[in-house]
Amino acid sequence: MTLPTRSYAAFLFDMDGTILTSIASAERVWTAWALAQGLDVATFLPTIHGVRSVETIRRLGLPGVDPVVEAAAITAAEMEDVADIAAIRGAAKFLATLPPERWTIVTSAPRALAERRLAAAGLAIPSQFIAAEDVANGKPAPDCFLMAAERLGVAASDCLVFEDAPAGIAAADAAGADVVVITATHASDHRVDGGRHAIGDYDGVTIAADGPDRWRLGRE
Examine the pLDDT at 159 and tell me if it is beyond 80: yes
Q: Which residues contact 149 (CB under 8 A, 6 or more apart)?
A: 10, 12, 155, 156, 158, 159, 175, 177
Q: Is 14 a catalytic residue?
A: yes
Q: At what angle do helices 67-80 and 111-121 cross, to 10 degrees?
A: 20
Q: Is 15 helix (H, G, I), strand (E, B) or coil?
A: coil
Q: Is 164 a catalytic residue?
A: no
Q: Is 13 helix (H, G, I), strand (E, B) or coil?
A: strand
Q: Is 181 helix (H, G, I), strand (E, B) or coil?
A: strand
Cα(67)–Cα(138) distance, rounded to whole angstroms?
A: 15
Each domain of the chain, given as residue ranges in start order, spans: 10-22+85-219, 23-80
> Strand order in 178-182's β-sheet?
103-105, 10-13, 159-163, 178-182, 197-199
Span 186-199, mean pLDDT? 67
Looking at residue 23, what is its pLDDT?
A: 84
pLDDT, tens only, 53-95: 999 999 999 999 999 999 999 999 999 999 889 999 999 999 9
CATH superfamily ID and name for 10-22+85-219: HAD superfamily/HAD-like (3.40.50.1000)
Span 91-115, mean pLDDT? 96
pLDDT, tens only, 138-157: 999 999 999 999 999 999 99
Looking at residue 26, what is its pLDDT?
A: 86
Percentage with pLDDT > 90 across the chain: 81
% helix, strand, coil for the chain, step of 5:
45, 20, 40
Please state which of the ranges 23-32, 81-90, 192-201 shows the lowest mean pLDDT: 192-201
Side-chain half-sphere exposure of 140, counting CA atoms within 13 A: 10
Examine the pLDDT at 25 and tell me if it is beyond 80: yes
- List, as one string, the DSSP characters of 91-108: HHHHHHHS-GGGEEEB-S
Looking at residue 196, what is its pLDDT?
A: 86
- Specify the DSSP class assigned to residue 88: P
* Predicted confidence band of residue 193 (pLDDT cuts 50, 70, 90): low
Q: Using an 8 Å Cβ cutoff, are 187 and 171 in contact?
A: no
| pTM beyond 0.85, yes or no | yes
Q: At what angle do helices 143-152 and 166-175 cross, to 10 degrees?
A: 60
Please state which of the ranges 43-57, 58-72, 200-214 shows the lowest mean pLDDT: 43-57
